[in-house]
Amino acid sequence: MSTETWAIARFTVLMALVATALTLPPAIAAGWLLARRSFPGKALVETIVSLPLVLPPVATGLLLLWLFGRRSPVGQALDAIGIEVVFTWKAVVIAMMVVSFPLVARSVRSGIEQVDRRYEDLAATLGAGPFRILRTMTLPLASRGIVAGAILGFSRALGEFGATIMVAGAIPGRTQTLAVGIYTYVETGREEAAWGLVLLSALLAFGAIYASNRLVEARHA
Amino acid sequence: MIALTIDVTLRQQSFELQVRDTSSVEVLGLFGPSGSGKTSLLEVMAGIRTPDAGEVVVDGRVLFSSSAGINLPARDRHIGYVPQDSLLFPHLDVSGNIDYGVRHGRAEGAHRSTLIDILDLPDLLKRRVQKLSGGERQRVAIARALMTQPAVLLLDEPLAGVDRARRDRIVPYLLRIRRELHVPLIYVTHDESELNAVADRVLQLETGRVVKAGPPER
Amino acid sequence: MTKLDAIVTLMRRLPIGVALAVVVSAAVAAQSPGLVVSVAASIHDALVEIAGLYRAASGVTVAVNTGSSNTLARQIVEGAPVGLFLSADELQMDVVEKAGRLVPGTRTRLLANELVVVVPADAPASLTLAAVLDGRVARLAMGETASVPAGVYGRRWLEHEGAWARLQPKVIPFPTVRAVLSAVEAGRVDAGIVYRTDARESRARVVGTVPAKDHAYLNIVQPAAVIAGPAEAEARRFLQFLQGPAARAVFMRRGFGAP
C-alpha cells in the first residue's frame, strides 16, 4: 500500500476524531434537552436534529456550500475575519460533524432516557444543583449511550462522502478523505489504488463496529 | 423534637392523597397497606413531588405553601431521604455515595467518623455498592442522607429489603441515630409492629386518608 | 477497574480530548492555501502529470480538485477558493461565467475531444458502429443526456444520425463518462458512448469514432478560465504553462486535440 494511501487514511481518521470530539458537547446538550426537558417547539427541534440523517448527504453538502460560500452572510462574516472554510480541512470536519450529529444526539438521548430519574431526584435531596446532577449523575450513568454514540458518529464521519465532496472538494493531501479518494480514484481510472482505500475503509469500519458491539455486550453483562 | 405541619393534597391516578396533621415528635410513624400513599407523602416532603395544594412546614420553615406560592427546591430543603430500595448510586463506591452530599468537607470530618461508627461502616467504605447485602445498602443510604445534617430523616420501609433474621440488627442502628444524633425521623412501614419500638406518634393511612392518629399501641 | 469505571474516567477526560483535538486541528491548519485547480475527471490524469512538470519548472505546487464538471461549477459559483477551472464542456463554464466568477478575457478553448462508441472486449465482431446505430443492442450506456457533457453531445450526435428515436428507450444514463466506461468494460451494457481520451487506455473495444471535423455541431471543446480571487496571478501563469509546448505534448500523448 502506497504512502499516499496511508496519508489519506491518517488524515481521514484525524479529521473524524476532531469532528467527533467537537460534535460530542452539542450532541450531549441536545440529547439531554430532548430526553429531560419539555419545551414549546420540541417536536420541531427533534425533527431538525434528525434531518441530516434522512437528507441526502449531497443536499447537506450543497446547503453547507451555500452557508459558507461568499453569497451567504455567514460566509461573508467568516471571510471578513480571514477564516476560509470551503475547500479546507475545516470543511471536511464540518461536513463530518453535521452528518454524524444526529446519530450521536440520538444515542445520547436514549442513553439518558434509560437513566432512572430517581437517582437525579435523590441527588437533589442531597443538595446537588442541576449542573452538578448532570455532571455527576446523568452523564456518568448514561456513559455507555454517550460512548456508543461517539463511536457511531466516528464511524459515520469516517465514511462521509456526499457532503464532503461538495463543500471540501477532492484535493489530495488537503481535503481528500477515504471515501472521496475512492470516488476520485475510480473516476480517474486508478482502480488498484481505489481497492487499497476500500480495504483500509473496511478495516476501520470493522474496528469501530467491533468496539461498539463489545460495548453493547458489556451493557448486557 | 421537631414541629411538623403536614397539610397535603395530591391528586394521583387512582386516588387523592389528603393528609392533615400537626405534631411535635421525635419519630413520626406512617403505616398502611401498599398503595395507601405513604411513599408519595415522603416524596412531597423531600421536594421530589409537588402537591396540588396545602403546606409543609418543618420547625417553622415553610417548605411548601400553595397559598403563599412557596415551593422550595429539593436541594434547599435539608431533608434526608432514604428510599425503600436504598437507590445507592451504582457508579460510585460506598465512600463516594456517603460523601456525595458533602461539598465543602471541612468541618464535617468528625460528623463523618461518628456516622461511620454508629452505622458500623468502616469495612464497607471501599466496596462497590453492587456487592452489598440489603441491610448494608440501607445503612449506607442512611449514612449518605445523614452526612448533609438534615433537619429530618425520611425512612421508607427501612426493613423491607432485609431478611427477618437481620431486622433486629438494623433497629438498634436507628435507635442510636435517634439517641446520639438527635435527628427526628419519619418512618414509613406497612407493618405496625415495627413502629412500637421507635415511634412516638403514628398515622395510619388508607387510600390517601388518615384513618387513625395517635401514640403507638404498645 | 471495570468497564463502567473506565468509561467514567474517559468521560472525565473528555474536555482534555477536545482541547487536544483543537491543537491537532491547528497543526493541520498550517497548510498554505496556494493554487487550487478544479479539473473535470476526464482531464484529471493529464493535469496531474502537467502539475508535476510545472512544479519542477517553477517550484509552485498546484492542488488538483476533481469531480464532475457540474459539481465543480457549483462549488466555484458558491465561492470555493479555486484559481483555475478546466471544464469538460462549455455549458458548465457558461454557468460559472454567468455567475460573474471568471476573470474577463481569460476563457480559453484549451482542449478538443471526440466521441467514440465502445463495446465490451468480448463482444461479437458483428457488433459494429452500424449495428449499434441500427438499434441492435439491448442496453446503451451514456452520460446523463441533459447534464453530463458527454451525454449531451452523444444525444445530439444520435439525433443528427436519426437514431435517437429507436435508441432512446435503450439508454442507461450514468452520472459520469468514467462510469459509462466501467459499465462497458464489465459487460453490464452492450455499448457505450465516451470520449476518445477515456477509451485510449481502456479494455473496451472502440467500434467507431465521431470525427470532429465531420460533426462541427458537436464542437467538443474543453475550456479553461481563471477564476476571480486572490490566486488570480498564479492561475494566469499556470494557464499559460498549460498552453505551452511541454503541457501540449502531454495532452497530445493522452489523446486530446487542439481546438
As given in the structure block, the three cell numbers for residue B95 are 465512600
Phi and psi at residue C139, in whole multiples of 5°? -140, 125
B91: chain C residues, CB-CB within 8 Å: 4-5, 8
Test A65 with C80 for CB contact under 8 angstroms: yes
A112-130 average pLDDT score: 94
DSSP states of B65-134: ETTTTEE--GGGS-EEEE-TT----TTSBHHHHHTTT-SS-STTHHHHHHHHHHTT-GGGTTSBGGG--H
B90: chain A residues, CB-CB within 8 Å: 141
Confidence of residue C13 (pLDDT cuts 50, 70, 90): low
Task: Specify the pLDDT at position C247.
Answer: 95
**For residue C9, pLDDT beyond 60:** no
**For residue B108, pLDDT beyond 70:** no
Q: Write down the ipTM of this complex.
A: 0.91
Task: Specify the pLDDT at position C1.
Answer: 40
Subunits with 3+ C-beta pairs closer than 8 A to A: B, C
**For residue C113, pLDDT beyond 60:** yes
| Rounded Cα gap, residues B68 and B53, in angstroms | 11
Confidence of residue A102 (pLDDT cuts 50, 70, 90): very high
**For residue A124, pLDDT beyond 50:** yes
Of the residues B89, B102, B156, the best mutation for testing chain A's interface (the one with the most A CB atoms within 10 Å of its CB) is B89
The Cα of C170 is separated from the nearest Cα of chain A by a number of Å equal to 24
Task: Calculate the alpha carbon distances from A23 to A146, B132, C15, C166 in Å.
Answer: 11, 39, 12, 54
Q: B145 to chain A: nearest residue by CA?
A: A126
Pick the range with the lowest mean pLDDT from A121-125, B9-13, C55-59.
B9-13
Confidence of residue C12 (pLDDT cuts 50, 70, 90): low
The angle subtended at Cα A164 by Cα A207 and Cα C221, nearest 5°, is 130
Q: What percent of chain C has pLDDT over 90?
A: 57
Q: B142 to chain A: nearest residue by CA?
A: A126
pTM: 0.80
Test C74 with A165 for CB contact under 8 angstroms: no
Query: Regarding beta strands B201-206 and B209-214, do their DSSP bridges make them parallel or antiparallel, or are they unpaired?
Result: antiparallel
Interface of B with C (CB under 8 A): 91
A13 exposure class (CB count in 10 Å sphere: 0-12, 13-18, 19+) = middle
Question: Where do we find the cell 443536499?
Answer: A59
Q: C5 to chain B: nearest residue by CA?
A: B91
pLDDT (tens digit per residue) in A135-150: 999 999 999 899 989 9
In this structure, the number of other CB atoms found within 10 A of the CB of residue A141 comes to: 21
Higher pLDDT, B183 or A122: A122
Test A121 with B145 for CB contact under 8 angstroms: no
B126-136 average pLDDT score: 89
Per-residue three-class SS string for chain A? CCHHHHHHHHHHHHHHHHHHHHHHHHHHHHHHHHHHCCCCCHHHHHHHHHHHHHCCHHHHHHHHHHHHCCCCHHHHHHHHCCCCCCCCHHHHHHHHHHHHHHHHHHHHHHHHHCCCHHHHHHHHHCCCCHHHHHHHHHHHHCHHHHHHHHHHHHHHHHHCCHHHHHHCCCCCCCCCCHHHHHHHHHHCCCHHHHHHHHHHHHHHHHHHHHHHHHHHHHHHC
Residue C27, chain A, CB below 8 Å: the answer is no
Q: C200 to chain A: nearest residue by CA?
A: A189
Confidence of residue C139 (pLDDT cuts 50, 70, 90): very high
The Cα of A125 is separated from the nearest Cα of chain C by a number of Å equal to 23
Task: Calculate the alpha carbon distances from B3 to B10, B60, B63, B204 in Å.
Answer: 22, 7, 13, 19
A140: chain B residues, CB-CB within 8 Å: 91
The Cα of B217 is separated from the nearest Cα of chain A by a number of Å equal to 33
Confidence of residue C154 (pLDDT cuts 50, 70, 90): very high
Test A89 with C31 for CB contact under 8 angstroms: yes
pLDDT (tens digit per residue) in C156-190: 999 999 999 999 999 999 888 888 998 899 899 99
**For residue A221, pLDDT beyond 50:** no
Phi and psi at residue C215, in whole multiples of 5°? -130, 65
The angle subtended at Cα A128 by Cα B131 and Cα B109, nearest 5°, is 70
Subunits with 3+ C-beta pairs closer than 8 A to B: A, C
The Cα of A131 is separated from the nearest Cα of chain B by a number of Å equal to 12
C218-226 average pLDDT score: 91
Residue C156, chain A, CB below 8 Å: the answer is no
The Cα of B80 is separated from the nearest Cα of chain A by a number of Å equal to 7
C181: chain A residues, CB-CB within 8 Å: 189
**For residue B21, pLDDT beyond 50:** yes
Task: Specify the pLDDT at position B47.
Answer: 94
Confidence of residue C117 (pLDDT cuts 50, 70, 90): very high
Query: Regarding beta strands C140-143 and C191-195, do their DSSP bridges make them parallel or antiparallel, or are they unpaired?
Result: parallel
A126: chain B residues, CB-CB within 8 Å: 75, 100-101, 144-145, 147-148
Phi and psi at residue C161, in whole multiples of 5°? -85, -5
C19-34 average pLDDT score: 55
Query: Regarding beta strands C84-86 and C35-40, do their DSSP bridges make them parallel or antiparallel, or are they unpaired?
Result: parallel
A86: chain C residues, CB-CB within 8 Å: 75, 78-81
Task: Specify the pLDDT at position A52.
Answer: 87
Higher pLDDT, C222 or A219: C222
B48: chain A residues, CB-CB within 8 Å: 121, 124-125
| Rounded Cα gap, residues B168 and B162, in angstroms | 10
Which element (helix H / strand E) includes C47? helix C44-58
Amino acid making up residue A92? V
Confidence of residue C109 (pLDDT cuts 50, 70, 90): very high
Phi and psi at residue B16, in whole multiples of 5°? -105, 125
Test A125 with B103 for CB contact under 8 angstroms: no
- Beta-carbon contacts below 8 Å between A and C: 115
Test A137 with B89 for CB contact under 8 angstroms: yes
The Cα of A133 is separated from the nearest Cα of chain C by a number of Å equal to 14
Task: Specify the pLDDT at position B106.
Answer: 54
pLDDT (tens digit per residue) in B23-58: 888 899 999 888 888 999 999 999 999 999 999 999
Q: B150 to chain A: nearest residue by CA?
A: A126
Of the residues B39, B76, B91, the best mutation for testing chain A's interface (the one with the most A CB atoms within 10 Å of its CB) is B91
Task: Specify the pLDDT at position C212.
Answer: 78
Residues with Cβ within 8 Å of B174's Cβ and at least 6 positions away in sequence, in order, are B155, B158, B185, B187, B198
Q: C66 to chain A: nearest residue by CA?
A: A170
Higher pLDDT, B93 or C11: B93
**For residue B163, pLDDT beyond 80:** no
Test A69 with C80 for CB contact under 8 angstroms: yes
**For residue A65, pLDDT beyond 70:** yes
Task: Specify the pLDDT at position C30.
Answer: 45
**For residue A99, pLDDT beyond 90:** yes
DSSP states of B173-199: HHHHIIIII---EEEEES-HHHHHHH-
Task: Specify the pLDDT at position C8.
Answer: 52
Task: Specify the pLDDT at position B105.
Answer: 47
Of the residues B89, B91, B92, B129, the best mutation for testing chain C's interface (the one with the most C CB atoms within 10 Å of its CB) is B91
Nearest CB to A140: which of B46, B48, B91? Answer: B91
Confidence of residue B169 (pLDDT cuts 50, 70, 90): confident
Of the residues A12, A87, A184, A186, the best mutation for testing chain C's interface (the one with the most C CB atoms within 10 Å of its CB) is A87
The Cα of C64 is separated from the nearest Cα of chain A by a number of Å equal to 6
Confidence of residue A161 (pLDDT cuts 50, 70, 90): very high
C10: chain A residues, CB-CB within 8 Å: 143, 147
**For residue A91, pLDDT beyond 80:** yes
Task: Specify the pLDDT at position A79.
Answer: 83
Residue C8, chain B, CB below 8 Å: the answer is yes
Q: C6 to chain A: nearest residue by CA?
A: A143
Nearest CB to C63: which of A89, A140, A171? Answer: A171
Residue A188, chain C, CB below 8 Å: the answer is yes
